Structure 1
Amino acid sequence: MKQLSVFVVFSLLVSECYGGCAEVDSRTEAVAGEGFLLGCISCKTREEVPARATVDWHFKPAGEEKFRHIFHYDHPNATVFHPDFSDRLEWHGTPDPDVQTGAVYIQNVTFNDTGTYRCTFHRTLLLSLSHQLVVVEKEVELTVVAEASPELVAVISEIMMYVLIVGLQLWLIAVLIYCYKKTWDEHERHEARRALRAQAELLQEKENCGGDQPDKLGEVASLE
């Protein structure tokens, strides 16, 4: 549902902001019993030209040869033609006559909804000299499954999360080892300096003792 909401918001944004219109492919896997957004986007090549568009959806069930007309949108009216989709299709496309996002939402998806969906834009460019009709068709191969399969992005994100966790742990261990080694080296240098000072003091004491001994011998000789 989170990915569905993101797709709906993105579709509405690109349809309302013509300068940022981007044609995004629809998802192709639905879960039985849940809702599904059939995405279909057709951006105008010349945004400065006013236009009006209608959208038709056709459906060909798996194993059949013919398409059946199931939906038509001509702002502001949306019409469902086929009884199999009665009360199950909702318009989630551009809410104005210049349609660029022709998405429809299927409620309560069933396994019978598996098949090919064809989205057709009939766009009339309102040119100053004459009107020009442009027809754009797109198809979506929909598969209905009992349970949602893990999305590739989600799997990659999970893998990257574990890699990041392991990497942080290794980095923390390396930092601890470095800090311990640095502390130990500092301790060794401190002990070495203490040993040198102690040795220097001992040598100085010996030198002082050696310097006083001749004086004491002279005092003894004078007393004699």
Structure 2
Amino acid sequence: MSPDISSLWALCLILMLSGWCDASCAEVDSMTEAVVGKEFLLGCISCKKREEVSGAATVDWHFKPAGGNDSFHIFHYEYPRSTILHEDFNSRLEWRGTKGTEDLQIGAIANLNVTFDDVGTYTCTFERTLFLPLGDEHVTIKKTVELIVLAEEKPELTAVISEIMMYVTIVGLQLWLIAVLVYCYKKISAENEAREARKALREKNKLIDSKDTCDGVHLE
């Protein structure tokens, strides 16, 4: 599947999850292949173990470039405000996580214009506080995405299979046509041979009848 379509499906999933207040949460891994100049969704989902327990969370994203040793803090979200924290990502990151509540379970962000410099490791960190009757509980959850940036989209698997099947069909039709031509040729040849044989038999019978007629004539 291509990166744009994969991101679209992931986005649809995230929107559905964020829109269903009582729906069960499903932790889906992020896509890992982006295309330069396109939009890409960095997915990050952290489900609470108990839905009935209320809580609050913040989400932070860090980025470590490929081949680099240092990690940079690039994005922070705390309801209802998101903040881009690194100049390399100015105007390029957008919050696509849970909206309308501080009880976050989806921490996805969108890179609106991918560049080759975006290759590397992205770390999503949930800092969650669960409000329990006996006292608040603090939980930290981290998830990583190893991003690869492609110069152009890879052909979709379904498109490749369709193209292969098209060529197979064409070759199959050609072989079938050849087989039909060979069959027709053999059939016509056989009919011609049979016709010639019948013609030869008729000529032979005529000669025999003519000979019998001559043998029956008596000269006076």
TM-score normalised per structure 1: 0.68
1:149–1:161 distance in 2 versus 1, CA, 3 Å: closer
Give the equivalent residue in structure 1 for 2:203.
none
Give the equivalent residue in structure 1 for 2:89.
85
Shift of 1:19: 3.1
CA RMSD of superposed structures (Å):
2.3
Within 2, Cα distance between the matches of 1:158 and 1:29?
Answer: 18
1:20–1:161 distance in 2 versus 1, CA, 3 Å: farther
The number of aligned residues is: 166
Within 2, Cα distance between the matches of 1:58 and 1:148?
Answer: 26
The answer to whether the aligner puts 1:39 opposite 2:43 as a matched pair is: yes
Shift of 1:162: 6.7
**What secondary structure, in the 3-state scheme, does the structure 2 residue paired with 1:20 have?**
coil
Aligned mate of 1:134, from 131, 134, 139: 139
Shift of 1:46: 0.5
Within 2, Cα distance between the matches of 1:118 and 1:24?
Answer: 15
Q: Which amino acid aligns with 2:130?
A: L
Contact 1:19 1:47 in 2 (8 A): no
Shift of 1:149: 1.6
Long gaps (5+) in structure 2? 177-220
- Provide Cα deviations, 1:115-156, integer angstroms capped at 9, x if missing partner: 000000011101122110111000000011101123xxx415
Within 2, Cα distance between the matches of 1:160 and 1:134?
Answer: 48
1:158–1:146 distance in 2 versus 1, CA, 3 Å: closer
Poorly superposed stretches of 4+, deviation over 4 Å: 160-166
Give the equivalent residue in structure 2 for 1:148.
153
TM-score normalised per structure 2: 0.69
Give the equivalent residue in structure 1 for 2:115.
110
Give the equivalent residue in structure 2 for 1:7.
10
**What secondary structure, in the 3-state scheme, does the structure 1 residue paired with 2:23 have?**
helix
Contact 1:30 1:144 in 2 (8 A): yes
Long gaps (5+) in structure 1? 174-224
Within 2, Cα distance between the matches of 1:73 and 1:141?
Answer: 21
**What secondary structure, in the 3-state scheme, does the structure 2 residue paired with 1:159 have?**
helix
1:45–1:157 distance in 2 versus 1, CA, 3 Å: farther
- Provide Cα deviations, 1:75-112, integer angstroms capped at 9, x if missing partner: 00001110000111000000021111100001111100
Give identity over the alignment, percent.
51
1:162–1:112 distance in 2 versus 1, CA, 3 Å: closer
Within 1, Cα distance between the matches of 2:105 and 2:165?
Answer: 41
**What secondary structure, in the 3-state scheme, does the structure 1 residue paired with 2:88 have?**
helix
The answer to whether the aligner puts 1:26 opposite 2:36 as a matched pair is: no
Within 2, Cα distance between the matches of 1:112 and 1:158?
Answer: 30
Q: Which amino acid aligns with 2:10?
A: F
**What secondary structure, in the 3-state scheme, does the structure 2 residue paired with 1:41 have?**
coil
